[in-house]
């Protein structure tokens, strides 16, 4: 409505001014400098045309108003009659034939950069204190909450026991937050198990079945490894994982999957059956699983079978092969 | 009967401010609101419902009672068009933003209630139509941009200005909508909010605008629940780099959101004439969150004991006790999974045990699906049933034990209803559950335990407690007697209704306060002057309980 009114009122004025400017350029009055008169009238005509042409632009391109008006005025001033019109036509073509969406997608912003002034607010080395702050029932609730939030990103494998202890904390907020963390970690795995089961029901080829059974066995084992299953549910979860391992082994060429035999050995160790784990580890080795990667479990089997000398010998072998840094304290203990 | 939500009136006796509950969502709070409205058939109620998006509340779960004369719903987070026409920048009012800066500084420093209240009265004028700090000014003015930029430089410990800008913008946007609601809604003699948060903030606005009293009654503690949600949410970003991060600090935006809801809670508490908690633990929490002790009181939930007692007779005394039911919505806060695991554990000792999950599954279908998948993976097809929503009176005579595995509760009605119908309960140690099971005061405790209390998220403990009660007949019968007696003595609906009637009558009889008075300037007839010492003791002039009601110790 406003657009129509503006066009009705201002457009005739623009036409008149533009005509006057052009007519004045060819038929200048005797009393005036022809060039100065033309520029003056053209400036007024361009202003009126800018108002009209701006109203003809799509709504999204009309702002910022001052800049758009200035742009249109300049075009109309420098190219009488056609300057602003070209702009409107170009915009119309752009609106009718937009570029593919991907090519005009919003640019990705880079990660925020390092801000030096924040460094002064940082207390370095605080991470080491976080767990002790959390366990200290005499610390303020806010302090303990902050500590709990800080350890949220650590793997549940390392924080599981602490979080489980907090479920019985007298402070409601801590209990709820600890529960939330454990629940979230469990949900992530359980959702994948649920998806895996659905995929297994649809699977037809032996290869797909093997892959899915193996994946499900690993996911169930993850629940145990992350200390998210305990009590009777722990035993049940091991049972489920073992059932999937057996099903994966039963598929065509499934028995040749060395990693499955290792998983079965770890499951046997999880239910305290080292005598069963030993042969599984040997089977994995026979199928080509690197012996040096089996050494920690072989040592554990020997230890659980009550053969400390054998365990020490295997750990010694591990030391000779420069095991992972995390194993260093164990190696030192057993080879002293 | 008029079941429509389309009710309009210019005034009401009591205006209820409800956030995300009645009449759209089933649950303890909604059921309580429904009962309360029906308990005062001569009182004309108005309802202002606040929700996130209209699509989240497609259908009313409760029919509005006849005495609800007005209903309006507002949604704070409706989707907006991404390609909306850009607005023209405005200059903005520098003084208005200076006022806002002073107000925020006062909140940051934990300023005097009277000062905060007085500034809020000014701000309300500025926020509403014709004011100098209307939504348009906040969203599209140059002054707003400069103000946000300055605040970022002064206070933000996160390096991302982009995230800061949008966090501040999204956080504050609903406040203008609520200011418009407060400006245009019906007038009432008493405003009653059933939570703090946005509903509480709206209550504070209405109190300061109209001078009429505000009553805050909370089932859970809104600020606490929001805080837990925010602390474990993943949508809040922390952009600090490795060397900028102090691991012992909560990220700035997380903290900002927590403080925002704490401030909303404070507004509601400061404006309230009466602040009601369901049990002592929550009352102390309200005080810790900024409520004045002398305005707080506890009113436990009450149930229709007389209506439920006949169900005791409908129980079959010869039936073996083996049915454990969890009655409640299938949502994460009820921790249904722990209940399912408990049935799995109990099944090892008691193979014929039956677990029933009785409650609607439509609030969080994803979670309901996870629960069913868990039951299936544990091989509980025979021992666990999902019965969906059922009438409590139909279910209670058929069950032998109520299980409540919630990770958070206030004072669960379902446990009381079970007691009245002769069903003991095993609950987690949350909210007032221990008081319900073991008794609150010496006289109450003397009645004996009406079940068992176990730690949260501990299926083995829940299973052991359930089996111990189901297999020990004398113990089960003693728990039944204790529960029945406890419900009759302390948790009847008439007791609760009488106490709220007192609150409503007292509030309704107060004269109108001018906005300045309402801000707590010392002469407010409702608030009776400035606060005294910050004591946690209940007021001496607590509303008198009707005869025959035992006074509960705090």
Q: Which residues does chain A have within 8 Å of residue B159's beta carbon, measured at their own beta carbons?
A: 112-115, 118
What is the rounded average pLDDT for all residues in chain B? 87
- Name every residue whose Cβ is closer than 8 Å to that of residue B2 and which is 6 or more positions away in sequence: B64, B66
Half-sphere exposure (CA, 13 Å, Cβ side) for A216?
Answer: 28
Alpha carbon B278 to chain centroid distance? 11
Question: Which segment, A99-108, B175-184, B187-196, is predicted with the most confidence on average?
Answer: B187-196
- Tokens describing residue A272: 């305290």
Mean pLDDT of B171-199: 94
pTM: 0.74
pLDDT at A302 over 80: yes
Burial of B418 (0-12, 13-18, 19+ CB in 10 A): buried
Q: Which residues does chain B have within 8 Å of residue A110's beta carbon, measured at their own beta carbons?
A: none
Nearest to A179 among B89, B239, B407 (CB): B407
pLDDT at A222 over 90: yes
Residue with the bigger pLDDT between A22 and B429: it is B429
Whole-number Å distance between alpha carbons of A191 and A288: 33
Nearest to B228 among A173, A231, A236 (CB): A173
Strand order from edge to edge, sheet including B354-358 = B384-386, B354-358, B323-327, B401-404, B425-428, B451-454
What is the structure's pLDDT at A113? 60
The answer to whether the CB atoms of A233 and B373 lie below 8 A apart is: no
Q: Which among A58, A128, A156, A172 is the top mutation candidate for probing chain B, defined by the most B β-carbons within 10 Å of its own β-carbon?
A: A172
For B288, the closest chain A residue by CA position comes to: A141
Whole-number Å distance between alpha carbons of B50 and B193: 11
Lowest mean pLDDT among A96-100, B141-145, B276-280, B461-465: A96-100
Query: How far B354 CA lies from chain A's nearest CA (Å)?
Result: 18
Residues A298 and A308: beta-carbon distance below 8 Å: no
For B349, the closest chain A residue by CA position comes to: A232
The answer to whether the CB atoms of A114 and B244 lie below 8 A apart is: yes
The answer to whether the CB atoms of A126 and B248 lie below 8 A apart is: yes
Lowest mean pLDDT among B31-35, B78-82, B105-109, B163-167: B78-82
Q: Which residues does chain B have within 8 Å of residue A233's beta carbon, measured at their own beta carbons?
A: 341, 344-345, 378, 459
pLDDT at A139 over 50: yes
Nearest to B344 among A123, A190, A233 (CB): A233
Q: To the nearest whole percent, how much of chain B has pLDDT over 90?
A: 61
pLDDT at A321 over 80: no
Q: Which residues does chain B have within 8 Å of residue A140's beta carbon, measured at their own beta carbons?
A: none
Q: Which among A104, A110, A173 is the top mutation candidate for probing chain B, defined by the most B β-carbons within 10 Å of its own β-carbon?
A: A173
Q: Which residues does chain A have within 8 Å of residue B430's beta carbon, measured at their own beta carbons?
A: 172
Q: Which among B223, B237, B246 is the top mutation candidate for probing chain A, defined by the most A β-carbons within 10 Å of its own β-carbon?
A: B246
Residues B507 and B190: beta-carbon distance below 8 Å: yes
Query: Where does the pLDDT of residue B514 fall: very low under 50, low under 70, confident under 90, or very high at 90 and above?
Result: low
Q: To the nearest whole percent, how much of chain B has pLDDT over 70?
A: 90
What is the structure's pLDDT at A187? 87
What is the structure's pLDDT at B526? 37
Nearest to B231 among A59, A60, A145 (CB): A145
Nearest to B377 among A122, A191, A240 (CB): A240
Q: Which residues does chain A have within 8 Å of residue B87's beta carbon, measured at their own beta carbons?
A: 63
User: Helix, strand, or coil here: B27?
Assistant: coil
pLDDT at B540 over 50: no
The string of pLDDT tens digits covering residues B86-135 is 677 788 889 989 988 888 888 888 767 777 777 877 888 888 888 888 88
How many CB contacts within 8 angstroms connect chain A with chain B? 120
Mean pLDDT of B384-410: 93
What is the structure's pLDDT at B545? 32
What is the structure's pLDDT at A299? 92
Whole-number Å distance between alpha carbons of B37 and B66: 9
Whole-number Å distance between alpha carbons of B410 and B172: 29
**Complex confidence, ipTM:** 0.77
Whole-number Å distance between alpha carbons of A333 and A328: 9
- Name every residue whose Cβ is closer than 8 Å to that of residue A265 and which is 6 or more positions away in sequence: A276, A277, A278, A280, A281, A284, A297, A301
Burial of A325 (0-12, 13-18, 19+ CB in 10 A): exposed
pLDDT at A4 over 90: no
- Name every residue whose Cβ is closer than 8 Å to that of residue B391 and which is 6 or more positions away in sequence: none
Q: What is the DSSP letter of B492?
A: B
From residue B83, alpha-carbon distances to A299, B78, B87, B90, B158 in Å are 64, 15, 12, 20, 29
The string of pLDDT tens digits covering residues B241-262 is 766 666 667 788 998 999 999 9
- Name every residue whose Cβ is closer than 8 Å to that of residue A206 and which is 6 or more positions away in sequence: A251, A252
Q: Which residues does chain A have within 8 Å of residue B338's beta carbon, measured at their own beta carbons?
A: none
The string of pLDDT tens digits covering residues B416-469 is 999 999 999 999 999 999 999 999 889 999 999 999 999 999 999 999 999 999
pLDDT at B547 over 60: no
Q: What is the DSSP letter of B189?
A: E
Q: Which among A67, A232, A243 is the top mutation candidate for probing chain B, defined by the most B β-carbons within 10 Å of its own β-carbon?
A: A232
């Amino acid at each position: 409505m406003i657009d129509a009114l503006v066009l009705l009122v201002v457009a005739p004025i623009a036409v008149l001014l533009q005509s006057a400017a052009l007519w004045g350029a060819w038929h200048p009055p005797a009393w005036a400098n022809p060039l100065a008169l033309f520029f003056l009238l053209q400036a007024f005509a361009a202003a009126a045309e800018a108002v009209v042409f701006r109203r003809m632009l799509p709504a999204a391109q009309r702002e910022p108003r001052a800049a758009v008006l200035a742009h249109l005025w300049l075009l109309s001033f420098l190219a009488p009659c056609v300057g602003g019109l070209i702009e409107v036509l170009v915009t119309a073509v752009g609106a009718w034939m937009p570029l593919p969406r991907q090519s005009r997608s919003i640019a990705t912003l880079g990660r925020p950069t390092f801000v030096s002034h924040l460094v002064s607010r940082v207390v370095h080395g605080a991470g080491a204190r976080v767990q002790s702050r959390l366990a200290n029932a005499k610390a303020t609730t806010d302090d303990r909450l902050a500590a709990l939030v800080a350890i949220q990103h650590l793997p549940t494998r390392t924080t599981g026991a602490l979080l489980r202890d907090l479920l019985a904390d007298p402070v409601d907020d801590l209990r709820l937050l600890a529960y939330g963390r454990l629940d979230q970690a469990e949900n992530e795995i359980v959702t994948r198990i649920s998806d895996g089961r659905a995929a297994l029901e649809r699977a037809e080829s032996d290869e797909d079945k093997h892959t899915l059974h193996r994946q499900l066995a690993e996911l169930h084992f993850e629940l145990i490894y992350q200390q998210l299953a305990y009590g009777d549910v722990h035993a049940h979860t091991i049972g489920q994982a073992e059932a999937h391992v057996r099903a994966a082994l039963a598929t065509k060429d499934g028995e040749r999957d060395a990693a499955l035999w290792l998983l079965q050995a770890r499951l046997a160790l999880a239910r305290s059956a080292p005598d069963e784990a030993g042969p599984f580890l040997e089977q994995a080795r026979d199928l080509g699983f690197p012996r040096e990667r089996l050494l920690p479990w072989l040592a554990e089997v020997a230890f659980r079978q009550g053969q400390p000398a054998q365990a020490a010998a295997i750990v010694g072998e591990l030391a000779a092969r420069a095991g992972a840094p995390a194993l260093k304290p164990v190696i030192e203990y057993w080879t002293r | 009967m008029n079941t429509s939500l389309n009710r309009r009136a210019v005034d009401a006796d009591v205006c209820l401010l409800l956030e995300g509950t009645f009449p759209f969502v089933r649950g303890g709070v909604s059921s309580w609101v429904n009962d309360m409205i029906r308990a005062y058939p001569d009182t004309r109620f108005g309802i202002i419902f606040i929700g996130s998006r209209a699509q989240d509340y497609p259908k009313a779960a409760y029919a509005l009672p006849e005495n609800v004369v007005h209903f309006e719903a507002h949604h704070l987070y409706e989707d907006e068009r991404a390609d909306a026409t850009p607005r023209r920048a405005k200059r903005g009012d520098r003084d208005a933003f200076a006022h806002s800066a002073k107000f925020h500084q006062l909140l940051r420093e934990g300023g005097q209630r009277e000062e905060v209240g007085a500034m809020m009265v000014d701000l309300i004028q500025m926020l509403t139509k014709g004011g100098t700090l209307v939504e348009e000014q906040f969203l599209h003015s140059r002054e707003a941009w400069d103000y946000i930029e300055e605040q970022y430089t002064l206070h933000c410990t996160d390096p991302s200005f982009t995230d800061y800008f949008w966090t501040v913008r999204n956080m504050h946007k609903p406040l203008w909508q609520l200011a418009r609601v407060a400006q245009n809604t019906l007038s009432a003699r008493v405003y009653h909010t059933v939570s703090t948060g946005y509903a509480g903030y709206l209550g504070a606005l209405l109190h300061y605008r109209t001078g009429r009293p505000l009553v805050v009654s909370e089932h859970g503690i809104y600020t606490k629940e929001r805080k837990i949600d925010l602390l474990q949410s993943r949508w809040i970003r922390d952009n600090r780099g490795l060397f900028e991060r102090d691991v012992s600090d909560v990220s700035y935006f997380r903290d900002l959101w927590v403080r925002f809801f704490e401030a909303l809670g404070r507004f509601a508490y400061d404006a309230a004439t009466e602040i009601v908690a369901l049990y002592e633990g929550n009352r102390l929490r309200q005080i810790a969150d900024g409520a004045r002790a002398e305005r707080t009181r506890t009113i436990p939930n009450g149930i229709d004991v007389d209506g439920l007692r006949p169900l005791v007779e409908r129980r079959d005394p010869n039936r073996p006790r083996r049915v454990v039911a969890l009655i409640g919505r299938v949502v994460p806060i009820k921790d249904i999974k722990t209940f399912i695991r408990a049935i799995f554990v109990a099944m090892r000792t008691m193979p014929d045990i039956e677990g029933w999950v009785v409650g609607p599954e439509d609030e969080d279908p994803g979670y309901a699906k996870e629960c069913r998948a868990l039951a299936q993976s544990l091989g509980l097809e025979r021992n666990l049933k999902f019965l969906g929503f059922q009438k409590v009176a139909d279910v209670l005579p058929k069950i032998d034990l109520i299980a409540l595995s919630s990770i958070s509760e206030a004072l669960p009605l379902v446990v009381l209803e079970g007691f009245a119908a002769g069903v003991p309960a095993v609950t987690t140690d949350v909210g007032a559950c221990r008081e319900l099971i073991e008794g609150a005061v010496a006289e109450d405790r003397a009645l004996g335990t009406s079940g068992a209390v176990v730690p949260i998220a501990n299926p083995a403990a829940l299973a052991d407690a359930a089996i111990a009660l189901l297999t020990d007949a004398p113990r089960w019968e003693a728990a039944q007697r204790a529960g029945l007696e406890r419900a009759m003595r302390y948790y009847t609906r008439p007791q609760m209704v009488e106490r709220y009637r007192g609150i409503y009558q007292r509030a309704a009889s107060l004269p109108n306060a001018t906005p300045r008075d309402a801000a707590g300037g010392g002469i407010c007839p409702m608030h009776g002057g400035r606060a005294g010492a910050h004591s946690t003791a209940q007021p001496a002039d607590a509303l008198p309980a009707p005869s025959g009601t035992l006074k509960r110790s705090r």
